[in-house]
Amino acid sequence: MRNLLKDKKLSETPFRKEVLAIFTKYNNAIPLSIVEKDLKEYNRITLYRTIKVFVEKGIIHEISLSGEESNYAICQEECDIGSHQHQHIHFKCNMCGTISCVKINKFPTIQLPEYKIDQLEIQVTGLCKKCNA
C-alpha cells in the first residue's frame, strides 16, 4: 500500500500511523468506537482531530446513515483535500450490520431543475454476501 500520509503531505506521527493501520485492516467501514477499541492508548481530542484531518485530506470518508453512528472507510479513489470522488454505493447489511463501500459500473446522474448538486450518495440496505450465502 502506498504511503498515504506522505502522499497527502501529512506528518507521519506514530499516532496517525496507528490510526491509519486500524482502517487498513478492515475491509468495510467502521465506527469510531472500533477505532477507539483497537487503539492501545489515545487522547479522545487527538483522535477526533486526526479523523477530521484524514477526512479533509481525502484519506478516509465518512458514511452517515440515518439514525446510525457515523462510520469511516479508507478512500479507494483519488480523493483530494475537501473533495471526495466516490463512485460507489454504501451498503448496510440488515443481519450483521456491516457497512461496505460497493463499486458499481455506472454511477447514476441526477439533474434537479434550479438546484446544483455537489455530491450524490446512494445508501442501500439488504443482506451482504456473507449473510446471503
Whether 16 shows a pLDDT value over 80: the answer reads yes
Give pLDDT, residue 1.
43
Report if pTM > 0.85.
no
Give pLDDT, residue 81.
57
Q: pLDDT-derived band of residue 117, with 50, 70 and 90 as boundaries?
A: confident
Contact 133, 95 (CB under 8 A): no
Q: pLDDT-derived band of residue 40, with 50, 70 and 90 as boundaries?
A: confident
Whether 22 shows a pLDDT value over 90: the answer reads yes
Q: For the residues 36-56, what does the mean pLDDT come to?
A: 94
Dihedral in degrees, nearest 10, Cα atoms 18, 79, 33, 132: -120
Give pLDDT, residue 68.
78
Query: What confidence tens digit (pLDDT) does each residue in 70-96 have?
Result: 999 988 766 665 555 666 788 999 999
Run of H or E including 100: strand 99-103
Hey, what domains does the chain have and what are their CATH numbers? 4-132 (1.10.10.10)
User: What is the SS3 assignment for 8?
Assistant: coil
Candidate from 3-12, 38-47, 116-125 with smallest mean pLDDT = 116-125
Contact 73, 63 (CB under 8 A): yes
